[in-house]
Amino acid sequence: MYINSLEIIKYQILEDLKIEFQIPKDNKNVVNIIAGVNGSGKTTLLNWILNKLTNSDYNGILTRDDNVVLGKDSSANIENIYMFINSLEKNNMYKNGINSSPRVILMPSNMTFNYQSKSSIDTSYKFENIINQSDIIGNAELFIKEFVIKEERLSSKSSPQERTKDAIDKFNSIFKESEFITKLIDLDIHNQNRPIFQTINGDKVTIDNLSSGEQQLYARVVALMILNPYNSVILIDEPEIALHPKWQIEIMKIYSNIGQNNQFIVTTHSPFIISQTPYKNLTFLVKENEKIVAKQFSEPPLDRDLNTIVKTIMGADYLPKELEELHNQYRKLFEENKLESQEAKELEAKILEYESSNSSFFQAINFDKALQG
- Structure confidence at residue 340 (pLDDT): 92
What's the rounded mean pLDDT across residues 273-282? Answer: 85
**Looking at per-residue confidence, does 15 or 55 come out higher?**
15
| Domain boundaries along the sequence of the chain | 1-103+229-317, 131-227, 321-372
Does residue 77 surpass a pLDDT of 60? no
- Structure confidence at residue 188 (pLDDT): 92
Write down the mean pLDDT value for the chain. Answer: 82
d(CA 264, CA 280): 14
3-state secondary structure the chain: CCEEEEEEEEECCEEEEEEECCCCCCCCCEEEEEECCCCCCHHHHHHHHHHHHHCCCCCCCCCCCCEEEECCCCCCCCCCHHHHHHHHHHCCCEECCEECCCCEEEECCCCCCCCCCCCCCCCCCCCEEECCCCCHHHHHHHHHHHHHHHHHHHCCCCCHHHHHHHHHHHHHHCCHHHCCCCEEEEEECCCCCEEEEECCCCCEECHHHCCHHHHHHHHHHHHHHHHCCECCEEEEECCCCCCCHHHHHHHHHHHCCCCECCEEEEEECCHHHHHCCCHHHEEEEEEECCEEEEECCCCCCCCCCHHHHHHHHCCCCCCCHHHHHHHHHHHHHHHCCCCCCHHHHHHHHHHCCCCCCCCHHHHHHHHHHHHHC
- Structure confidence at residue 289 (pLDDT): 82
Does residue 342 surpass a pLDDT of 90? yes
Confidence category of residue 95, pLDDT binned at 50, 70, 90: low
Other beta carbons within 10 angstroms of residue 244's beta carbon come to 17
Confidence category of residue 216, pLDDT binned at 50, 70, 90: confident
Does residue 241 surpass a pLDDT of 80? yes
Which of 103, 147, 95 has the alpha carbon at shortest distance from 121? 147
Confidence category of residue 355, pLDDT binned at 50, 70, 90: confident
- Structure confidence at residue 303 (pLDDT): 55
What's the rounded mean pLDDT across residues 26-55? Answer: 88
Which of 307, 322, 331, 308 has the alpha carbon at shortest distance from 353? 322
Confidence category of residue 313, pLDDT binned at 50, 70, 90: low
Q: Which CATH class is domain 1-103+229-317?
A: alpha beta
Q: What angle do CA 146, 149, 152 make, to 5 degrees?
A: 150
Does residue 48 surpass a pLDDT of 80? yes
**Looking at per-residue confidence, does 25 or 94 come out higher?**
25
Count of residues making up the chain: 373
Instruction: Name the strands in the sheet holding 282-288, side by side, starting at the edge strand that comes first in the sequence.
Output: 128-130, 104-107, 233-237, 263-268, 30-35, 282-288, 291-295
Does residue 326 surpass a pLDDT of 60? yes
Mean pLDDT: which of 150-159, 174-183, 268-277, 312-321 is highest? 150-159
Flag the least confident range among 63-72, 201-210, 234-243. 63-72
Q: Using alpha carbons, list the distances in angstroms from residue 315 to 35, 99, 166, 242, 309.
A: 12, 43, 47, 21, 9
In contact, 347 and 333? CB cutoff 8 Å: yes
- Structure confidence at residue 207 (pLDDT): 93
Confidence category of residue 100, pLDDT binned at 50, 70, 90: confident
Confidence category of residue 76, pLDDT binned at 50, 70, 90: very low
Instruction: Give percent of the chain above pLDDT 70.
Output: 82
**Looking at per-residue confidence, does 39 or 56 come out higher?**
39
**Looking at per-residue confidence, does 90 or 34 come out higher?**
34
Instruction: Give percent of the chain above pLDDT 90.
Output: 31
Confidence category of residue 288, pLDDT binned at 50, 70, 90: confident
State pLDDT tens for residues 138-195. Answer: 999 999 999 999 999 988 888 988 999 999 999 998 887 666 678 999 999 899 999 9
Does residue 62 surpass a pLDDT of 60? no
What's the rounded mean pLDDT across residues 3-28? Answer: 89
